[in-house]
């Protein structure tokens, strides 16, 4: 089949000091065939200093990576070429690889297809969006969250107070396209922080390293990095939720007259919940956060994978991402309006065309909100 990845071994000739020609299996094939938006991880077995290059727009070799592993992902069908040079004093290696990329056999969805984790912090809409019912488990609530925000179902989920999160993905890798934003997330008016991860170990679960997409507030002195908060399960449904953080502060997720249910996630058999991440100082973030602007402001609710930074704040390059996580970025109470929490309704890969999807209407706290289909990209 034209979609099958070619995995035949390749033997390379290396020049040794004794003028013999040993045969070494480099572990990389001459030719690969794959679908677009599917990644190939090229892992050379031969040691040395690595230089990967690819033709630029003028056809000249351009250095693209000096890492041992090269992760290839293409947005569009076509034929692609890579050259690997392994600099080794005894046995230098140069290898050419051709990658043929086909259109996918079954069209990709532009929208979320999988929720991997749903773990909200306590909050006034927790246990109602989605609705907790007696006997629900973490798995059944994960499925309810998935049913709410996948596709164009028009549902909405609450992430509760600071740190509460949802992890989701698409039926393909979201490609990091140079010069463009890559995906957008729709929600409701309270800022959430976005994390991304690439499935480097190919196991299909979000257990690889996570990277924050640095927004407009990331480098501001009032932003708190490495913030950690612990919530404690209340003694009754009517009691507020007590919390303490790693800055020596304490407080409560206070109950309000509009929402009388238990605010602590009732399906979790845990006496306390701890979350960590970046805490924003206020909800007036300019860009780079979920819910900081109305859903119609596509440029404000769209995200560029090139904004990824590691835990030390250093920029990293990711060719694409398989997992996206959103968590509430504020720890703030607003009196009878309750705690600030992020609510999320859907996400879209901006590199997959809209297939005639109608606008979806959702209900949030008794009010109608319309989610408008997006363009295929940002000019």
Tens of pLDDT, residue by residue over 178-237, are 999 999 999 886 899 999 999 999 999 999 999 999 999 999 999 999 999 999 999 999
Side-chain-side CA neighbours of residue 21 (13 Å): 3
129 CB-near residues (< 8 Å, 6+ apart): 148, 156, 157, 158, 343
Q: How many of the other CB atoms lie within 10 Å of CB of 5?
A: 11
* Pairwise CA distance, residues 351 & 170, whole Å: 12
Average pLDDT, integer, range 310-324: 97
Pair of tokens at residue 225: 């990095």
Q: Comparing C-alpha atoms, which of 139, 376, 325 is closest to residue 147? A: 139
Q: How far apart are CA 133 and CA 52, in angstroms?
A: 53
pLDDT of residue 378 exceeding 60, the answer is no
The structure tokens listed for 119 are 């773990």
Whole-angstrom distance, CA of residue 180 vs CA of residue 249: 40
Average pLDDT of the chain, as a whole number? 87
Strand order in the sheet with 308-309: 114-119, 165-169, 323-328, 192-197, 211-213, 308-309
Please identify which residue in the block is written with the tokens 């805490």.
279
- When mean pLDDT is compared across 9-18, 180-189, 245-254, the lowest value belongs to 9-18
- 310: β partners: none
Pairwise pLDDT comparison (325 vs 7), residue with the higher score: 325
Tally Cβ neighbours within 10 Å of residue 309: 15
For residues 279, 260, 337, 263, the Cα torsion angle rounded to the nearest 10 degrees is 0
Q: Which 3 state secondary structure label does DSSP give 200?
A: coil
Q: What is the pLDDT of residue 4?
A: 38
Predicted pLDDT at 25: 60
Cα 337 to Cα 333: distance, rounded to the nearest angstrom:
8
Please state the CATH superfamily assignment of the domain spanning residues 11-102 in this structure. Answer: Immunoglobulins (2.60.40.10)
- Mean pLDDT over 241-253 rounds to 97
| Burial class for 162, CB neighbours closer than 10 Å (0-12, 13-18, 19+) | buried
Q: What is the pLDDT of residue 233?
A: 98
- Note the pTM of the prediction, 2 decimals: 0.86
Q: Provide the phi-psi class of 314: left if phi over 0, else alpha when psi is between -120 and 50, else beta.
A: beta
Nearest of 53, 88, 56, 86 to residue 72 by alpha carbon: 53
CA 275 → CA 120, 189, 290, 304, 327, distances in Å? 10, 21, 18, 25, 10
pLDDT reported for residue 49: 94
CA dist 121 → 93, 196, 247, 372 (Å): 52, 20, 18, 28
Q: In 3D, which of 164, 118, 185 has the Cα closest to residue 321?
A: 185
Q: Is 148 exposed, middle or buried (0-12, 13-18, 19+ CB in 10 A)?
A: buried
270-301: b or e for each residue (b if 16 or more CB lie within 10 Å)?
eeebebbbbbbeebebebbbbbbbebeebebb
pLDDT in tens, 106-130: 999 999 999 999 999 999 999 999 9
Tokens 């056999």 correspond to what residue?
Answer: 105
SS percent in the chain: helix, strand, coil, step 5 = 5, 35, 60
Residues whose CB falls within 8 Å of the CB of residue 258, separated by 6 or more in sequence, listed in order: 124, 336, 338
């Amino acid at each position: 089949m034209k979609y099958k990845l070619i995995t035949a071994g390749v033997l390379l000739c290396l020049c040794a000091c004794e003028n013999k020609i040993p045969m070494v299996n480099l572990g990389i094939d001459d030719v690969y065939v794959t679908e677009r938006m599917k990644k190939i991880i090229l892992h050379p077995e031969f040691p040395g200093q690595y230089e990967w290059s690819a033709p630029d727009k003028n056809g000249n070799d351009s250095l693209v990576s000096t890492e041992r592993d090269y992760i290839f992902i293409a947005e569009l069908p076509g034929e692609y070429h890579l050259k690997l040079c392994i600099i080794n004093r005894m046995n230098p290696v140069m290898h050419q690889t051709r990658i043929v990329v086909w259109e996918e056999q079954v069209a990709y969805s532009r929208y979320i297809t999988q929720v991997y984790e749903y773990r909200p912090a306590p909050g006034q809409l927790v246990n109602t969006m989605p609705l907790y019912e007696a006997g629900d488990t973490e798995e059944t609530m994960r499925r309810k969250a998935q049913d709410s925000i996948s596709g164009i179902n028009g549902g909405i989920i609450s992430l509760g107070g600071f740190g509460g999160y949802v992890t989701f993905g698409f039926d393909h890798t979201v490609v990091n396209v140079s010069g463009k934003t890559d995906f957008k997330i729709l929600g409701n008016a309270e800022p959430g922080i976005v994390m991304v991860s690439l499935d480097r170990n190919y196991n299909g679960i979000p257990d690889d390293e996570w990277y924050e997409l640095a927004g407009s507030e990331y480098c501001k002195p009032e932003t708190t990095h490495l913030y950690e908060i612990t919530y404690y399960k209340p003694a009754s449904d009517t009691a507020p939720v007590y919390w303490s953080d790693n800055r020596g502060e304490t407080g409560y997720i206070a109950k309000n007259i509009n929402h009388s249910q238990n605010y602590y996630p009732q399906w979790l058999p845990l006496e306390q919940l701890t979350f960590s991440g970046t805490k924003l100082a206020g909800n007036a973030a300019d860009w780079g956060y979920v819910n900081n602007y109305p859903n119609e402001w596509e440029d404000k609710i769209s995200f560029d994978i090139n904004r990824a930074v590691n835990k030390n704040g250093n920029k990293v390059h990711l060719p694409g991402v398989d997992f996206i996580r959103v968590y509430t970025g504020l720890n703030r109470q607003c009196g009878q309006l309750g705690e600030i929490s992020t609510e999320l309704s859907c996400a879209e890969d901006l590199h997959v065309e809209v297939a005639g999807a109608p606008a979806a209407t959702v209900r949030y706290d008794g009010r109608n909100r319309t989610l408008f289909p997006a363009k295929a990209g940002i000019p």
